[in-house]
Amino acid sequence: MIRLAIQSKGRLNEDSLRLLQDTGILVDDAKRKFLGKAANFPLEVLYLRDDDIPGVVADGAADIGIVGLNETAETGAPVRILRRLGFGRCRLSLAIPKSVVYPGRSWFEGRSIATSYPRILKKFLDENGIQAVIREIRGSVEIAPAAGIADAIFDIVSSGGTLVSNGLREVESVFVSEAVLIGRENLSPEKQALLSSLLFRVDAVQESRGKKYILMNLPTPQISKVLELLPAMRSPTIMPLAAEGWSSVHTVVEEATLWDTVEKLKEIGAEGLLILNLDIVVA
């Protein structure tokens, strides 16, 4: 049995549960439960506040966890980063009142900065030789300047909307974060084997994200052009069609450039394109 800690509610909860679901592991949606058990994999799920996850994994009360890289760095817990998961993207930035003219990092010298991330902030200030007062507050950091608590803030930014609505301006982006799968050191051989099997599934799920399966009919002489067009396509499946001089080509394409690809394929004579969702790719 391996134990995974995830956020019980909040921004990472849904995506963490979805990742488990995509790996085919069935856990009951135990929002109010503390500990759940998967139906078809030897896995327990511990639902926690995100701040507690790195420490709980480091202590061994859980073996692995899904949490923001920001929380992992802030706690300084001795855990291994096993995988970056691509969701929960945000950054930790310094922001100042928007009316202030910003001459550069030296502006922070001697100022006070409110944050829930004192450790990451201190590292940045030290690296830049800046002496500033760090005011640690737990929540509502963005109101600190208006409330006279601090001159500036150091906080999570994703779109920047919260900063703008509080009359602040992002001036330094310091730390880039996303959700990560963390693990403790020294797992037993049994847990290590379960972890490997889980990582295999996670990798397959990640590999499949953002991809589509495409099928098309193409005049056979054009096949070399398709290969030029889609260099990522290492070995497309090519099959002769019943109609003389035509082939069917199947391959995987990136969703982000799907429509550009479709246009180019049409230009070189592709017909009858079918674009399908792709569940899992196992390399």
Judged on CB neighbours under 10 Å (0-12, 13-18, 19+), 184 is buried
Which of Mg ion, ligand ATP, none lies near 88, with the C-beta cut-off 5 to 8 A by kind?
A: ligand ATP
Q: Does 172 bind Mg ion (CB under 5 A)?
A: no
> Under DSSP, is residue 233 helix (H, G, I), strand (E, B) or coil?
coil
Q: Does 11 bind ligand ATP (CB under 6 A)?
A: yes
One residue of 51, 178, 203, 207 binding Mg ion per CB under 5 A: 51
Decide whether 75 or 93 has the Cβ nearer to Mg ion.
75
Which of ligand ATP, Mg ion, none lies near 68, with the C-beta cut-off 5 to 8 A by kind?
A: ligand ATP
DSSP assignment string, 30-78? -TT-SEEEBSSSSEEEEEE-GGGHHHHHHHTSSSEEEEEHHHHHHHT--
Find all residues with CB under 8 Å of 256, minimum gap 6, and list them: 210
Q: Does 173 bind ligand ATP (CB under 6 A)?
A: no
Q: Does 63 bind ligand ATP (CB under 6 A)?
A: no
One residue of 12, 50, 57, 172 binding Mg ion per CB under 5 A: 50
Q: Does 170 bind ligand ATP (CB under 6 A)?
A: no
Type of residue numbered 249: V
> Under DSSP, is residue 218 helix (H, G, I), strand (E, B) or coil?
strand
One residue of 36, 54, 68, 145 binding ligand ATP per CB under 6 A: 68
* CB 157 within 8 Å of CB 170: yes
Measured CA to CA, the distance from residue 238 to residue 262 in angstroms comes to 18
Decide whether 12 or 205 has the Cβ nearer to ligand ATP.
12
Residues that bind Mg ion (CB under 5 A): 50-51
Binding residues vs ligand ATP (CB under 6 A):
7, 10-12, 49-51, 68, 70-71, 88, 90, 156, 158, 177
